[in-house]
Chains A and B, each alone.
Chain A
Amino acid sequence: MSENQLYTRVSEFLSLEADLLDHKAYDEWLALWEKSGLYIVPVEHDVTDFANHLNVAYDDDEMRQLRIARLSNGEAVSTVGAENTVRTLSRIRILEASDELVTVRCAYCLYENNKNGVRAFPANVEFILKPTEDSFLIQQKVARVMKSNEHLTTVSYLF
């Protein structure tokens, strides 16, 4: 595959991922994941040994399923008001690519509409993707959200 082709496919995949979250297509979103994959929102931005640090979120397969259930089942009062989100992404850069793994970083901004107005959460997001025949599976997604290392407000969705 040429560099251009890879870039196009990766970009398409990142757009798909963000689109599924914005449109609450959670089952499809869960299907994008490798079972052993990890979804992480670290507290400190320079951390790489996530397991041995406290994170804002550290979701393995089981926790991802539970989190999706929490976001969708209407039991959590904080998720009821979180009506819609818009995720934009840009500045996509492939850092490393082999037949087994593709590491890609992008600028990511989540806008949330809640009763206090529209809030923006800019983040550097890094994906490790596993190429499949015609797409990718997510091996790891790390969202380094601005202010996560200072103080956030509470968050009722996934970055």
Chain B
Amino acid sequence: MTKTTSIPVKSITSAADMVMEDRVHKSLYSDPEIFEEELDKVFNHTWVWLAHESEIPDSGSYKTAKIGRQPVIVVRDRKGNIHVLQNRCRHRGATVCEKKHGKTKAFTCPYHGWGYGLDGSLRALPKPEEYENILDKAEFGLNSLRFETYQGMIFATLDDSIESLDSFLGGAKKWMDLFMKQSGGYPVQVLGDHRFRFPGNWKIQLENTTDAYHFPIVHKSFISSIDDQTAEVFDFLDGDGFVEDLGNGHSVMVMIPDLVDLEANLDDPIPERFQPLADELAKEGKSEAEIKRLVRAVGGSGFNLNLFPNVSCSMAFFRNLVPISVDETEIHHVAIGGKGAPAAFNQKRMRLHEHFQGPMGFGTPDDGEAWERVQHGSKAGTDGWIMVNRGMSRLSTSEDGNVKGAVCSETGMRAAYQQYKKMMAAEEKE
């Protein structure tokens, strides 16, 4: 067993070495050189989540996003096909779109007016005579990036040589399937998002998604704001929950085992807090079966699925992290509901999201404060380790043959850091 006393940092020469099985070095939060290396070795060589298909429903719908710091556009063309395009004009390099999302017929560069189709192809440019015989339009489309989807989630990569998304997600797919059951029998639909920044490193947020340990402490004021029955549901540290390492840096933290499969146990009694919704749906003439399904789904799943490196399916929303700099991170909390589901259902889901998430939620600001403290604390001393050894001596094997720890173990963090270590240890890549 490794001792928890200090290990001199002088013996460590690389970021990969700063990740041990049970601890990571605080320089990983604050060294700008390591941050640059991460953008290259992690974000440029893995599958990065960009959008959910429902965010680009129609021909011409687009969303702008980032792979690491690189701007891209996710767009649906006239035939309904999705493209992920580098957001950079092939003339002198201006971005061709700066809006979060929208709908367009084409992308026209604002600088000299080169016009690109929805598939990225260069269609037209002003005063073409001066390019006579020197520019082949077919070679100057917006660069198209490799992307793949699973359960409507769109991931792209800058590396054409890595494994398929399917194989990368591996054991996480089962949990994505379960997560998508929360739209009450309707297709999953993004309803909007909360975006905020906090002054801290992206990995602090990555860790937090599988940190059940902090919940009763940091979220005390949220727990005080909910009814007793719900507070009991959220009192999960002593329950049967668990964290499972799903491989490739992914992990799942099951907090409320009863809410893993939202299509099961439809006959459970309706929780008090959802009775008004049930009444409203009944008034609208919805069948008992549909009411049960919607009410069971409305609060979201009982687990957080952490997908390395930048997205999680977190109870009732997608959490997307965007590294801005070594000590600044942007977080998107993407609310989801059901496409075509009763308005009352989607409204309830948005009100629940607003209650906890986002810049003015009853939960997020307190998380933000804790993360900011971690970043600040990382300036103390030269020899500081971040401990992620919780639950290490009490591991077991899950049904699927994975390493499994208690719900408030740090099993998920160790999984993410081991993947990080593997990627950071890779030889310099182009």
A residues engaging B (CB < 8 A)?
A: 41, 43, 51-58, 63, 66-67, 69-70, 73, 75-79, 81, 116, 148-156
A-facing mask of B314-349, CB < 8 A → 1, else 0? 000000000000000010000100000001001100
* Nearest CB of A to B186, in Å: 16
**Which residues of chain B from 161 to 219 have any CB-CB distance to chain A below 8 Å in the complex?**
191-199, 218
Does any Cβ of A come within 8 Å of B70's Cβ? no
Check B196–A66 contact: CB distance below 8 A: no
Q: Which of B191, B221, B369 contacts A54 (CB 8 A)?
A: B191
Residues of A within 8 A of B355 (CB): 63
Known: A41-B360, A56-B360, A70-B221. A153 touches B366 (CB 8 A): no
* Nearest CB of A to B367, in Å: 8
Residues of B within 8 A of A67 (CB): 362
A153 and B335 CA atoms in complex are apart in Å by 18
* Nearest CB of B to A70, in Å: 5
Q: Which of A43, A56, A149, A153 contacts B197 (CB 8 A)?
A: A153
Check B224–A43 contact: CB distance below 8 A: no
CB-defined A-B contacts under 8 Å, sample of 5: A53-B192, A55-B350, A70-B225, A148-B359, A150-B195
Residues of A within 8 A of B193 (CB): 43, 54
Check B362–A155 contact: CB distance below 8 A: no
Closest 5 pairs (CB-CB, A-B):
A54-B192, A154-B365, A76-B221, A75-B221, A78-B365
B residues engaging A (CB < 8 A)?
A: 100, 191-199, 218, 220-222, 224-225, 330, 335, 343, 346-347, 350-351, 353-355, 358-360, 362, 364-366, 368-370
Check B347–A51 contact: CB distance below 8 A: yes
Check A52–B195 contact: CB distance below 8 A: no
Which residue of chain A has its CB nearest to the CB of B197? A151
A153 and B329 CA atoms in complex are apart in Å by 10
Check B198–A54 contact: CB distance below 8 A: no
Residues of B within 8 A of A69 (CB): 224-225
Known: A77-B370, A153-B197, A154-B369. A56 touches B359 (CB 8 A): yes
Residues of B within 8 A of A70 (CB): 221-222, 224-225, 362
Which residue of chain A has its CB nearest to the CB of B349? A54
* Nearest CB of A to B176, in Å: 22
* Nearest CB of B to A52, in Å: 7
* Nearest CB of A to B377, in Å: 13
Residues of A within 8 A of B194 (CB): 43, 54, 56
Residues of A within 8 A of B366 (CB): 76-78
Residues of B within 8 A of A81 (CB): 369
Check A55–B196 contact: CB distance below 8 A: no
* Nearest CB of B to A62, in Å: 10
Which residue of chain B has its CB nearest to the CB of A76? B221
Check A152–B370 contact: CB distance below 8 A: no
A28 and B191 CA atoms in complex are apart in Å by 35
A154 and B221 CA atoms in complex are apart in Å by 16
Check B368–A52 contact: CB distance below 8 A: no
Give the most central of B343, B355, B365: most A CB within 10 Å. B365
Check B198–A154 contact: CB distance below 8 A: yes
A67 and B356 CA atoms in complex are apart in Å by 11
Check B196–A73 contact: CB distance below 8 A: no
A94 and B97 CA atoms in complex are apart in Å by 37
A69 and B359 CA atoms in complex are apart in Å by 17
Check B364–A154 contact: CB distance below 8 A: yes
A40 and B177 CA atoms in complex are apart in Å by 34
* Nearest CB of A to B234, in Å: 15
Residues of A within 8 A of B195 (CB): 150-152
Which residue of chain A has its CB nearest to the CB of B330? A151
Which residue of chain B has its CB nearest to the CB of A62? B225
A93 and B395 CA atoms in complex are apart in Å by 64
Check A77–B218 contact: CB distance below 8 A: yes
Which residue of chain B has its CB nearest to the CB of A59? B354
Check A154–B347 contact: CB distance below 8 A: no
Check A57–B354 contact: CB distance below 8 A: yes
Residues of B within 8 A of A153 (CB): 196-198, 359, 368
A70 and B199 CA atoms in complex are apart in Å by 23
A149 and B36 CA atoms in complex are apart in Å by 28
Q: Which of B192, B199, B220, B347 contacts A43 (CB 8 A)?
A: B192
Residues of A within 8 A of B362 (CB): 66-67, 70, 76
A21 and B199 CA atoms in complex are apart in Å by 26
A52 and B343 CA atoms in complex are apart in Å by 8
Residues of A within 8 A of B100 (CB): 149-150
Residues of A within 8 A of B330 (CB): 151
Which residue of chain B has its CB nearest to the CB of A51? B347
Residues of B within 8 A of A76 (CB): 220-221, 362, 365-366
Check B354–A77 contact: CB distance below 8 A: no
Residues of A within 8 A of B353 (CB): 54
Q: Which of A54, A116, A154 contacts B350 (CB 8 A)?
A: A54
A72 and B369 CA atoms in complex are apart in Å by 17
A77 and B198 CA atoms in complex are apart in Å by 15
Residues of B within 8 A of A149 (CB): 100
